[in-house]
Amino acid sequence: MSDPSSKPLVLDVRVPAQDFSYQVRVGDGLLARLGAELARGREPGRVALISDSNVMPLHGPTARGSLEAAGFSVSELVIEAGEPSKTPERMVELVRGLVDAGLGRHDVVVALGGGVVGDLAGLVAAVFMRGIDLVQCPTSLLAQVDASVGGKVAVDLPEGKNLLGAFHFPRAVLIDTSVLQTLPDDELGCGLAEMLKHGALFSGEHLEQLVEQADEIYARERSLLPRLVATSVALKAACVSRDPLEMAEAGKGRVLLNLGHTVGHAIELVSAYELRHGEAVALGLRATARLSVAKGIAEPGLEEQMVAALQALRLPTALDEWLDGERGAAVERSLRHDKKRADTTVTYIALAGIGDPRTIRLPPGEIMALLRGGAVR
Ligand SMILES: NC(=O)c1ccc[n+]([C@@H]2O[C@H](COP(=O)([O-])OP(=O)(O)OC[C@H]3O[C@@H](n4cnc5c(N)ncnc54)[C@H](O)[C@@H]3O)[C@@H](O)[C@H]2O)c1
């Protein structure tokens, strides 16, 4: 059972370019307060509660009950769980669902689910009547610490992921860590990879806490999760507030959040998505540590430190399986098509140490050579 007496942790995320800020509330059992939170400062109207086929049966009734208790009229819209639902077709269907449900300009979309629901429902809110209010209620750890904060919303095209999207900042983000009780362990691990990334980029203390408390995290220790999640969100939020629209010059803004993603994304593609995104990012984080040492940016020992952290968090570390032979060649080809590629070099986020990121540019061939040559045996 949740502890309704526990106070939520509240973070303000500033969007300076739009003179706007939104609150992220993090706590155990917060979903039961969704209606009351939404009713603050607005007349109860219509809400489209968008979720997926896994999450709606588990957590939809709590969200709906709380919204209705606060006087909102709720229409549920459910998509099939999984990335294949993040399409323009599904987006248009949902927009038409909002029309059918009678939503107007002053009504609200509530996204209840993982990053797929958050991105898809977020884009629906961005385009319906040229944009209506969006409240993110992320239910996967990855969505809680990453996807729900920062305002990026999108669907995929056959040509690539997230190619049709927008910035649409939420009115509020409500993170109920108690919903993680029903999240499968491997999905929890994917969120932990992003939390580890936030620690590696901005806070050695956060990284150490994750490693030390890994077993309690997997046990879904309720007294622990809100603070850890809030810390990770605060680290990401500080970064996106410095660069809300991803316009900052290299090394200063959101581009840092690509740590571990250049090689990670290439491996994810070559695995034909057999590796989950977070598992591929875990390998990408090991690659970053190795490359940073091989390039002389970091002191020796960083790779061993990263591997120990990944193992503690039950994440994969078998990077070398992806560097040689057919697979290695495919990873290199994929790097050459990295969307951040300019001319023949790739923007790469390296680490001088934990909490000390550096942006460098490297040709894909050199990335692979450094990774192959710098292996810790
Ligand atoms: N907008 C951004 O800034 C941003 C950042 C990172 C990732 N993303 C996007 O997020 C998506 C990945 O997010 P994800 O990993 O959450 O995927 P997801 O939404 O597919 O969720 C993963 C799985 O967990 C299930 N699930 C979610 N919460 C649950 C719960 N509490 N209990 C039981 N099951 C639950 C879902 O139904 C799904 O099967 C990708 O599409 C990615 O592009 C967006």
Kindly report the three-state secondary structure assignment for every residue of 302-349.
Answer: HHHHHHHHHHHCCCCCCHHHHCCHHHHHHHHHHHHCCCCCECCEEEEE
Closest alpha carbon to 65 in 42, 36, 45 = 36
Q: Pick from 164, 183, 202: which residue ends a domain?
A: 183
Ligand 1 geometric centre to CA of 209 (Å): 24
User: Is the same domain home to 57 and 179?
Assistant: yes
Domain closes at, from 162, 183, 204: 183
Domain membership flag for residue 368: yes
Q: How far apart are CA 144 and CA 351, in angstroms?
A: 25
- Measure 39 CA to ligand 1 centroid, in angstroms: 27
Hey, how many other C-beta atoms are within 10 angstroms of the C-beta on 1? 7
Helix (H, G, I), strand (E, B) or coil at 73: strand
Pair (176, 84) in one structural domain? yes
First to last CA, the chain: 47
**Is residue 208 one of the residues assigned to a domain?**
no
205 found inside a domain: no
Q: Is residue 132 part of a domain?
A: yes
Q: With contact defined as beta carbons under 8 Å apart, do 368 and 335 qualify?
A: yes
Looking at the structure, do residues 295 and 177 belong to the same domain, yes or no?
Answer: no
Mutate to test the pocket of ligand 1, among 142, 243, 245 (most ligand atoms within 8 A of CB): 142
CB atoms under 10 Å from CB of 57, counted, come to: 11
Q: Is 209 helix (H, G, I), strand (E, B) or coil?
A: helix
**Is the domain of 161 the same as that of 297?**
no
Do 47 and 161 reside in the same domain of the chain?
Answer: yes
Whether residue 143 has its Cβ less than 6 Å from ligand 1: yes
Task: Count CB atoms within 10 A of the CB of residue 151.
Answer: 23
Verify whether ligand 1 is closer than 6 Å to residue 114 (CB atom): yes
Domain boundary pick from 160, 183, 206: 183
Q: Residue 20: give the domain boundaries.
A: 9-183
Please report, for residues 85, 189, 214, 287, 294, the alpha-carbon distance to residue 279 in angstroms, rounded to integers and kept in the order given: 21, 8, 16, 13, 23
Domain contains 26: yes
pLDDT value of residue 231: 96
Opening angle at CA 78, ends 73 and 81, nearest 5: 150
Distance in angstroms (rounded) separating the CA atoms of residues 348 and 283: 15
Domain membership flag for residue 102: yes
The rounded Å distance from CA 136 to ligand 1 centre is 12
CA angle in degrees (0–180, nearest 5) for 141-142-147: 125
pLDDT of residue 377: 46
The crossing angle, in degrees rounded to 10, of helices 225-242 and 204-212 is: 150
Q: Distance from the CA of 85 to the center of ligand 1, in angstroms?
A: 11
Is the C-beta atom of 142 inside 6 A of ligand 1? yes
Q: What is the pLDDT of residue 201?
A: 97
Alpha carbon distance 271, 279 (integer Å): 11
| Helix/strand/coil percentages in the chain, nearest 5 | 50, 20, 30
How is 269-300 classified by DSSP, letter by letter?
Answer: HHTTT-S-HHHHHHHHHHHHHHHHHHTTSS-T
CATH number of the domain where residue 20 is located: 3.40.50.1970
Total of domains in the chain: 2
Q: Is 54 in the pocket of ligand 1 (CB under 6 A)?
A: yes
Decide if 332 is inside a domain. Answer: yes
179 and 253 together in one domain? no
Residues of the chain with pLDDT under 50: 1-2, 4-5, 377
Distances (CA, A) of 249 to 23, 83, 218, 245, 336: 27, 31, 38, 12, 22
Whether 313 and 175 share a structural domain: no
Question: Do 157 and 45 reside in the same domain of the chain?
Answer: yes
The pLDDT score that the predictor gives to residue 41 is 79
Measured in Å, residue 55 CA sits from the centre of ligand 1 at 10
Ligand 1 atom closest to Cα of residue 152 = 1
115-127 and 88-100 helices cross at what angle (nearest 10)? 60
Cα–ligand 1 centroid distance for 304 (angstroms): 30
Residues 164 and 260 in one domain: no
Same domain, 172 and 270: no
CATH number of the domain that 359 lies in? 1.20.1090.10
Nearest C-alpha to atom 18 of ligand 1 is from which residue? 114
The values of phi and psi at residue 273, to 5°, are 65, 20
CB of 122 shorter than 6 A to ligand 1: no
Please tell me whether residues 157 and 300 are part of one structural domain. no
The encoded tokens of residue 8 equal: 């939520």
- Residue 45 inside a domain? The answer is yes
CB distance 246 to ligand 1 below 6 Å? no
Shared-domain flag, residues 278 and 177? no
